[in-house]
Amino acid sequence: MSVPTPPLVYRPALNGVRAIAVWLVILGHWTRLPFPVSSMGRITFFVLSGYLISGIIWKQRIHPNAAGPWWRRLGTFYQRRMIRILPPYYATLVLGALLPLATLHQHPGWFILPLPNLLFYHLQHWGEGVGHYWTMAVDEQFYLVWPFLLGLTGRRAGWFLAVAAASLLFRLGWSAWVTPNFVFVLLPSCLDMFATGALLRIVEHHPRVRQWARGRWVVLAWLAWGGLWAATHLADAPTLWILVYTTVGSGAAFITLSWVLHLPNAKQPKGTHFLSSSLLQWVGQRSYGCYLYHLMLPVIYQRVVYRVFAATETRQLWLSPLPTVLLLLPVLLLVAAASWHWFEAPLDRLKNRLAYS
């Protein structure tokens, strides 16, 4: 009888990064700020996923050509991912169908599979309350292909630089020959972020990487990314921004995560850095629930406002960014806490009982 495999070393600071990244996305969606703070969170989250998932695959040897019955461990990997991710996701689909959300009723199969990123590319517009599901679809497609890609590349840094370059070239070629619209929702367009995370897993202890692991370089990297956004929009070149922002942002996220990984006490269960604070740890643990429900709540809120208030000015006041954030933030945290306590935590315990050996 096999014993459950212990997880990789838990780093509270990375859980804090997850909390901040998810809430950057949420606040960006709720407030609709002109500056793409939501993209900062999404890029960081994808790079972090590449870092963590690559570490699991290499440690547990669940890629082709690994020693032993790698295909059995691969099956366990998929089971663990499905148990942790899909039941909460399907629960939100049920809620969305009851609201009802039109896109779910018109195209249910795309969400059940799940392939909403391909649906939104096909429709060339977002669905009401479900537009954020494209990132979850990309994440799940990434889980499917990444073990096989790592079986081909091994732990050679050059290969992941090549994957990142290929992702950029895919966006350029697809935009030139097909269309730049919604190209960023396709999995090949996102591989530069995942590859950057895998690259960080390989080189995180390299002396040169340690030299860049400084807070000032984190600030400068994101300022450069923001400067690129400003330059492309002032030059009326939004298509250029769409083509390059994830690649440039991946570099900023690489430096950010390098800094976090080299913080003092980064590996301690209770670090002293603000990223290891109790609040961020609590939010980070419930970040999946926050993300799942965050676009449905504004839909419900908007319908309530339109039912309660008849005057257009009053509706606009209540639907402006500040009231929306102040009212929905505690509601979302309560929903995420309930989801974690009654649903996600039991699933997490069930997942951890599955052994790779």
Helix axes 37-60, 187-203, angle to 10 degrees: 60
For residue 335, give every residue at least 6 positions away whose Cβ sits within 8 Å of its Cβ, in sequence order, or none: 289, 293, 297
pLDDT at 274 (0 to 100): 87
pLDDT at 7 (0 to 100): 47
pLDDT at 357 (0 to 100): 72
pLDDT at 163 (0 to 100): 98
For residue 267, give every residue at least 6 positions away whose Cβ sits within 8 Å of its Cβ, in sequence order, or none: 9, 11
Q: What is the mean pLDDT of each run of 10 residues along the chain (357 residues)?
A: 47 94 97 94 98 96 91 96 96 94 94 95 94 97 97 95 97 95 96 98 94 94 97 93 96 97 71 84 97 96 96 95 96 98 96 89
Q: Could you tell me the CA-to-CA distances from 29 to 115, 138, 236, 312 in Å, in that order?
A: 21, 19, 23, 22
CB 212 within 8 A of CB 258: yes
Tokens of 259: 């800094």
* pTM for the whole structure: 0.94
Domain ranges of the chain: 12-352
pLDDT at 270 (0 to 100): 60
pLDDT at 264 (0 to 100): 80
- What is the widest separation between alpha-carbon atoms in the chain? 68
* Count, residues in the chain: 357
pLDDT at 6 (0 to 100): 40
CB 268 within 8 A of CB 12: yes
pLDDT at 1 (0 to 100): 34
